[in-house]
């Protein structure tokens, strides 16, 4: 697919809005679509004096709304970032509702890359009409599922875009395996995580296996070798099932016999016997007594979590469903005696008899439902017989053991013998590549034209960071590594949000994303080589980076924090301590801000004025008066041009120390 070739399904574009807008930035706004399709697009063109001959094309994790990015603020304001960078901003609905619905029968390549490619062609034509004849450069970027789709566009088109910034990316084996290994560990280690986290905290023992029994130690070893970032367990209480609510029905549909084999065929955990499985298995025959909407849950004080079908267009949306129904939960005739965790409601009578609905959690006698087809949920009624059963989800937790792929996926070596053959019994198909091809149009090959910068997060719990290295290896196989950079962001998670759930431990990677888009533009247009890829090693599934910023490379600053000269200090209440931070850039840019959080609020209300420099040292004297353990934190910000007057391209990192007040 080339920029000059017109996709016959997208041969008739139209505009239905063409207007000037001032807020939040002056721009010409266009809205339109392609006749005969559900594809719609929004285009934001900067004033001629600010335009520099390029467009930035945001690709959502799943086909979504062409209006998603409008109204963003701060770092999340994609439109203003593009305009400030001299770029047109464009986004589409990815092909429309049918492209987002796996049951629609629509050609998967439309949602994967064809709808976006058609919009990119139209933007090129529009730019020439708006600004006069010139070479228009285009850059696609997207995270998580949008990373799959960005790479799908890179590998299945030529010249439609010139550069790419996929971020927090998966591999053909990420789905569902990143989630299954995590859920297994969450179940086995649910009473041990506080100790595991404390061991890994500054001033901790450093041994997360301390005090674990054989089953617990095996579970932690397994998930760590699979690539779950060991330092990321601090969020275990809110981690939940995440993508499995959407992925589970697909796995069951593709490999239905596994869920019986798990309990009956030797070599599977269920058949071989496990005391914890016997303890945790729930099979409760019951009936539905009430259908509940979101308002009902709110009245009962139950948080429904993410509503099925709701979307924000952000990286985490790769794992959302497509149903749009007011039924979000059911009240059962009785409550289970133990928490089943994720489960299914298997309907035994009524309009949806024989169907299964994912249950994301159970609160008393209320089962909160996950994504499901609307016709299944509308078939529910009070009085329907049902069984609350978590057997399938328990089986899925070790599905990755029976999905051993080729040797290039080294995290599965733990399930191979010395000859490289799988130890557990294997399934007749690998489902991961099927999911990946559904998102990207094809399975990632590593073959693309143009330039690419991958932005990956070292604490990513949904797309384990080794997968960026896997893709880098595929690119290397095709001789393209000189056209690729991989930048790791330390202390960053999966979601592309400015505000962090755990601001004392994590930072936004949006600044790295901004800088990557600017750097890939300069690389393509002016031949300016971007900073080198982050230096790292993959050791037993864990991505390990050097401590020193210059050795680490990439673009993120490093920061260290000590209290009275160490990472841990034991003091009396009211005694003064000295917090000392050292922040360093990896050879480009300058540290421009140092902020402190002393009370655990995450507000970082105390600031130390600094002169922008490649290395900044800052000290703060303070005292802690309440007995117990505190973790003061420092957050530093760097900027390529030493700017402090912009929310964009701000590169952050964070560090903590332990203070024990006796």
Query: What domains are there in the chain, each with its CATH number?
Result: 12-173+435-526 (3.40.50.1820), 176-273+391-429 (no CATH), 282-389 (no CATH), 557-661 (2.60.40.650)
| CA–CA separation, 574 and 661 (whole Å) | 9
| CA–CA separation, 624 and 415 (whole Å) | 49
Q: Is 213 helix (H, G, I), strand (E, B) or coil?
A: coil
Q: Is 564 helix (H, G, I), strand (E, B) or coil?
A: coil
Distances (CA, A) of 613 to 117, 124, 605, 653: 42, 40, 22, 16
Count of helix runs (H) and strand runs (E) in the chain: 20, 27
User: Could you give the residue ranges of the DSSP H alpha helices within 488-572?
Assistant: 510-526, 549-552
pTM: 0.94
Name the burial class of residue 7, with classes exposed (0-12), middle (13-18) and buried (19+) by CB atoms within 10 angstroms of its CB. Answer: middle
Q: Is 15 helix (H, G, I), strand (E, B) or coil?
A: strand
Tokens of 461: 């719990």
| CA–CA separation, 169 and 412 (whole Å) | 19
Query: What pLDDT, on a 0 to 100 scale, did the predictor assign at position 5?
Result: 73
Strand (E) or helix (H) holding 344: strand 343-347
| CA–CA separation, 216 and 225 (whole Å) | 14
Distance, first Cα to last Cα, the chain: 68
How far is CA 550 from its chain centroid? 27
Q: Residue 556 carries which DSSP code?
A: P
Distances (CA, A) of 31 to 56, 162, 561: 16, 23, 49
Name the burial class of residue 335, with classes exposed (0-12), middle (13-18) and buried (19+) by CB atoms within 10 angstroms of its CB. Answer: middle
CA angle in degrees (0–180, nearest 5) for 373-379-385: 115
Query: What pLDDT, on a 0 to 100 scale, did the predictor assign at position 243?
Result: 81
pLDDT lower than 50: segments of the chain: 307-311, 319-324
Query: What pLDDT, on a 0 to 100 scale, did the predictor assign at position 319?
Result: 42
CA angle in degrees (0–180, nearest 5) for 26-42-439: 135
| CA–CA separation, 86 and 109 (whole Å) | 31
Contact 33, 39 (CB under 8 A): yes
Closest CA to 408 of 173, 154, 182: 173
How far is CA 333 from its chain centroid? 37
Query: What pLDDT, on a 0 to 100 scale, did the predictor assign at position 101?
Result: 83
């Amino acid at each position: 697919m080339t920029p000059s070739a017109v996709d016959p399904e997208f041969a008739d574009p139209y505009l239905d809005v063409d207007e000037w807008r001032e807020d939040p930035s002056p721009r010409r706004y266009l809205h339109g679509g392609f006749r005969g399709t559900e594809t719609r697009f929004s285009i934001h063109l900067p004033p001629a004096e600010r335009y520099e001959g390029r467009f930035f094309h945001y690709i959502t994790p799943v086909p979504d709304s062409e209006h998603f990015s409008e109204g963003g603020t701060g770092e999340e304001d994609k439109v203003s970032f593009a305009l400030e960078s001299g770029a047109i901003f464009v986004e589409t609905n990815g092909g429309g509702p049918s492209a987002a619905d796996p049951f629609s029968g629509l050609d998967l390549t439309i949602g994967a890359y064809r709808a976006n490619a058609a919009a990119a062609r139209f933007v090129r034509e529009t730019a020439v009409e708006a600004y006069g004849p010139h070479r228009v450069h285009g850059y696609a970027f997207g995270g998580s599922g949008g990373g799959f789709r960005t790479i799908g566009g890179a590998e299945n088109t030529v010249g439609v875009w010139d550069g790419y910034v996929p971020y927090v990316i998966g591999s053909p084996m990420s789905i569902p395996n990143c989630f299954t290994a995590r859920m297994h560990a969450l179940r086995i280690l649910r009473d041990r995580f506080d100790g595991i986290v404390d061991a890994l905290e500054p001033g901790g023992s450093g041994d997360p296996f301390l005090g674990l029994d054989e089953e617990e130690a095996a579970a932690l070893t397994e998930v760590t070798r699979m690539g779950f970032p060991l330092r990321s367990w601090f969020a275990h209480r809110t981690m939940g099932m995440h993508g499995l609510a959407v992925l589970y029905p697909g796995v069951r549909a593709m490999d239905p016999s596994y869920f019986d084999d798990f309990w009956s065929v030797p070599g599977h955990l269920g058949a071989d016997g496990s005391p914890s499985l016997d303890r945790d298995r729930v099979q409760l025959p019951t009936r539905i007594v009430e259908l509940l909407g979101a308002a009902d849950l709110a009245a009962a004080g139950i948080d429904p979590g993410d509503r099925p079908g709701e979307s924000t267009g952000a990286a985490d949306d790769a794992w959302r469903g497509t149903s749009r129904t007011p039924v979000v939960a059911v009240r059962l005739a009785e409550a289970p005696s133990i928490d089943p965790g994720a489960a299914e409601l298997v309907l035994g009578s009524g309009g949806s008899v024989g169907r299964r609905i994912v249950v994301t959690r159970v609160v008393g006698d209320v089962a909160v439902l996950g994504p499901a087809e609307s016709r299944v949920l509308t078939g529910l009624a009070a009085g329907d017989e049902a069984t609350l059963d978590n057997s399938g989800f328990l089986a899925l937790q070790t599905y990755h053991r029976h999905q051993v792929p080729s040797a290039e996926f080294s995290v599965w070596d733990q399930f191979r013998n010395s000859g490289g053959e799988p130890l557990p019994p294997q399934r007749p198909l690998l489902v991961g590549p099927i999911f990946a091809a559904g998102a990207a149009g094809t399975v990632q090959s590593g073959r693309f034209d143009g330039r690419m910068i991958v932005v990956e997060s070292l604490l990513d719990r949904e797309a384990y960071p080794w997968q960026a290295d896997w893709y880098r290896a595929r690119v290397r196989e095709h001789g393209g590594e000189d056209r690729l950079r991989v930048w790791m962001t330390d202390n960053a998670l999966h979601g592309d949000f400015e505000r962090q759930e755990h601001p004392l431990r994590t930072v936004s990677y949006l600044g790295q994303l901004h800088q990557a888009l600017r750097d890939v533009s300069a690389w393509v247009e002016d031949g300016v080589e971007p900073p080198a890829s982050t230096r790292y090693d993959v050791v037993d599934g864990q991505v390990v980076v050097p401590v020193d910023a210059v050795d680490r490379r990439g673009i993120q600053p490093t920061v260290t924090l000590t209290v009275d000269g160490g990472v841990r200090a034991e003091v009396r209440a009211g005694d003064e301590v000295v917090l000392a931070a050292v922040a360093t850039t990896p050879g480009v840019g300058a540290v421009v801000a140092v902020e402190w959080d002393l009370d655990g609020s995450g507000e970082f209300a105390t600031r130390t004025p600094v002169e922008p420099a490649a290395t900044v040292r800052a000290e703060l004297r303070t005292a802690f008066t309440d007995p117990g353990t505190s973790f003061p934190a420092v957050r530093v910000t760097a900027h390529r041009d030493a700017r402090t007057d912009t929310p964009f391209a701000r590169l952050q990192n964070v560090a903590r120390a332990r203070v024990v007040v006796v």
